[in-house]
Structure formats: C-alpha cells, structure tokens
Structure 1
Amino acid sequence: MSRKSLLPVVLVPTCILMIPAAAMLLRVEGWAWGVTDFVVFWILIAGVMLAYKLATRKAVSRAYRVAAGLALTAGLLLIWVNGAVGLIGSEENPANVMYGGVLLVGLIGAVMARLEPAGMAVTLFAMAIAQFMVPVVALVVWPGDFSPGVLAVFGLNGGFVLMFAASGLLFWRVGRRYGGTRVGAVA
C-alpha cells in the first residue's frame, strides 16, 4: 500500500471526529468527550478503513466491496453504540459483553474463510444469528435490566441482523458468480 492510498485512512477519521469536537466547542448538551474518547474512536474508524482497504485490495467485484464495507460498518457501529450507551440497558449491563462474541465470530470466520466469498457469506450469516441471539439470551438471563424495552432492543438488534445478513447475501452472490476464487479477483 502506498502512502497516497493510506491518506484517506488518516484524514477521514479526523474529519468525522470534527463533528463531536465542534459539539464540544459549542458546549452541546450531552457531548462530554475526553481526549481518550477521540483517540479510541479515531483508531476504530481508521482500523475499519484499513481493514476495508486490505480486504478489498484485489476485489474486482463491486458486490464484494459493498459486502465488506457493510460488514465492517455494521461492526464499527456495533462497537460504537454498545460502547457509548449500551444496546441492552446501560453500557454497564453485562449482557452487552455478549456483543463481543458477535464480533469474535466475524473475526474467526474471516480468518478461516481467508476472505473468500463463500466462507465470508457463512461468516456473516453466523454473525446475524449470533446478533439475534444476544437479546434472546439477555432476556432470559437478565430480564430485569432490559431498557429501553423489549421491542426497542429487538428492533435495534434487528437493524444489525439485517446489515450482517445483507452483507452475507452479497458475499454469497459473489461466491456463486466467481466460484472459489479469492474475492472475485483475477489472479
């Protein structure tokens, strides 16, 4: 990777984080980020962008690139929302730790699939199932701390399930079109 291709990995997170920085300067209620918050989220955004560049560097299929982008964006949003406010109850609710398992399924699956579309499809479908199961397990194990309500929690989780499943469908489509070739690349 050239320095020129890494420039967006540095600049885009910086530009995105200017929004909360401006909110802090304007003293918008609810924005109380510290330096650590900015550093952590800059690293998260830059890491996702770098992962996208590495995963799609040989991809010739637009569907593969969209699938990878959707999966990585869903993962980033899952970390961001869960870390900021928690998906189930507050961010201190122990049920929220289970979302780390969803991301672990994705990481292990991507390594095992070696980023090949068919394996990535299975991985993303497994992530969708794991994402769906988190609030089900939480409702059984921690029913008392289920704010903002059962429907809201399942609805929010449903959004993530849809993103992971849509990404899986796109990977499946690429796998069907290009067979077992790595990321639909022309070797």
Structure 2
Amino acid sequence: MSLSKSLLLVALATGLLLLIPLVAMQYTAEVNWTFSDFVFGAVVLFGAGSTFVLIARMGSNGTYRVAAGVGVVAGLLLVWANAAVGLVGSEDNPANLLYGGVLAVALLGAFVARFRPLGMSNAMFAAALTYVLVTAIALFVWTPSGEAAEPQVRLLNVLVANGVFAAIWAVAGVLFRRASAVGSAPNRQLA
C-alpha cells in the first residue's frame, strides 16, 4: 500500500476514534471534551498512527512491524495518560514533564540506530530504563499527599502503573530483538 493511502487510513481511523467521545457527550455529562481536547486527540492519534506507518515500513518482517506497533502504543499511552491524569500525582504536577525524556530517548535512539532492529531494541530498552529512572526521580521530588490513612496505597498505584508502562517499552525491545534474529534488514520504502 502506498504511503499516501496508509496516511489516509490513519486520518480516517483518527476521525472514527474521535467520534467516540463526540457521541458519548450527547448521552452523558461524564464526557465533557472541549474543542482543544479534540484537537489534542487528533494530533496525538494521527501522530502515533503516522509514526507507526513510517517505522513499520522500515522492516521487512511481521515481528518488526509488531514491535513498531508496541513501541508506538507505549509512546501514545505515555503522552495520553500524562496529559489526562498525570503519571505521578495530577496532570498539573511539574514532575510529569520529566517523562518527555522517555520519548526523547526512544526517538533519538531510533534515529541513531537508523531504525535497524537491533538498534531499535536497544532504544526501547533504554526508554524502559529511562521510564523507571524518571519515575524514581519524580517520586523523590514529589511527595504523595492525601489519604493520610493509607498513603502507601497511592504510592503503590503509581509504582504499579508506571511499572506496566515501562514494561510495554521493554516488550517492544524484546520484539525488536526477535526481529533482528529473524534477519530484518531495513527496507526503506518511504514513498
């Protein structure tokens, strides 16, 4: 499939996904998106879909494409969760800005590796490690508050949720490592 057709499909999928909150707003007051929420959603969803299309075209086997999908989903979840509720404390906590470093490590590593499977694997493992380090730093800077009776429950929730997100990056690393074992050479079909 050509790049333009793939991007058109990403645009259509983005529009269809954004119809979900639009329709939900008609039936419940629980969903209350503003125009800027829809713009943010469109940019993030289309950006993630486009990134997947471009990276997946670099590999020549299915494992590489699945790994690319997992890596892009990890980045999408990072941005969406951080913007929606925050990964440490509320979304207004400045410590959440540190998670931008995880995306920077993943993207910079991918470019340095020239999207080769083994290098992509290393970039995803580096992103997972960065995720863990950022969480530790954020928790050191951020003091959990509220629910004085059980403060460790809130901390445990933060640790478990961030552990799951870090694990998604690691799974992408394992999949890229497997793709390199299969012998996926970069297949640069951008046009």
TM-score (norm 2): 0.88
Q: CA deviation at 1:7?
A: 2.1
Equivalent pair of 2:57/2:188 in contact (CA under 8 Å): no
Output the CA distance in 2 between the equivalents of 1:183 and 1:125. Answer: 23
Output the CA distance in 2 between the equivalents of 1:138 and 1:2. Answer: 39
Equivalent pair of 2:144/2:155 in contact (CA under 8 Å): no
Output the CA distance in 2 between the equivalents of 1:172 and 1:39. Answer: 36
Q: CA deviation at 1:145?
A: 4.8
> Which letter does structure 2 place at the counterpart of 1:121?
S
Equivalent pair of 1:175/1:184 in contact (CA under 8 Å): no
Q: Which residue of 1 aligns with 2:21?
A: 20
Output the CA distance in 1 between the equivalents of 2:69 and 2:100. Answer: 19
> Which letter does structure 1 place at the counterpart of 2:154?
G
Shift of the 9–96 alpha-carbon distance from structure 1 to 2, 3 Å rule, reads same
> Which letter does structure 1 place at the counterpart of 2:28?
R
- Aligned with 2:173 (options 165, 168, 175): 168
Q: CA deviation at 1:87?
A: 1.1
Q: Which residue of 2 aligns with 1:99?
A: 99
Output the CA distance in 1 between the equivalents of 2:116 and 2:133. Answer: 26
Output the CA distance in 2 between the equivalents of 1:108 and 1:4. Answer: 27
Output the CA distance in 1 between the equivalents of 2:172 and 2:5. Answer: 28
Equivalent pair of 1:45/1:76 in contact (CA under 8 Å): yes
Output the CA distance in 1 between the equivalents of 2:187 and 2:67. Answer: 11
Q: Which residue of 1 aligns with 2:162?
A: 157
Equivalent pair of 1:174/1:184 in contact (CA under 8 Å): no
Shift of the 175–84 alpha-carbon distance from structure 1 to 2, 3 Å rule, reads same
Q: CA deviation at 1:184?
A: 10
Q: CA deviation at 1:21?
A: 0.7
Query: Which deviates more from structure 2 when the two are superposed, residues 149-158 or residues 58-67?
Result: 58-67
Report SS of the residue matched to 1:182: coil
Q: Which residue of 2 aligns with 1:81?
A: 81
TM-score (norm 1): 0.90
> Which letter does structure 2 place at the counterpart of 1:46?
F
Tell whether 2:140 aligns with 1:140.
yes
Which blocks of at least 5 consecutive residues in structure 1 are unaligned?
A: none
Root-mean-square deviation (CA), in Å? 2.1
Q: CA deviation at 1:143?
A: 2.1
Q: CA deviation at 1:178?
A: 1.0
Q: CA deviation at 1:53?
A: 1.0
Q: CA deviation at 1:144?
A: 3.8
Matches within 5 A, 1:1-12: 1-12=2-13
Shift of the 138–2 alpha-carbon distance from structure 1 to 2, 3 Å rule, reads closer
Shift of the 40–54 alpha-carbon distance from structure 1 to 2, 3 Å rule, reads same
Q: CA deviation at 1:183?
A: 5.8
Deviations 1:23-77 (A, max 9, x none): 2121332x22111111111111111111111111242211100000000011001
Query: Which deviates more from structure 2 when the two are superposed, residues 136-145 or residues 99-108?
Result: 136-145
Equivalent pair of 2:58/2:115 in contact (CA under 8 Å): no
Aligned identity (percent) is: 41
Which blocks of at least 5 consecutive residues in structure 2 are unaligned?
A: none
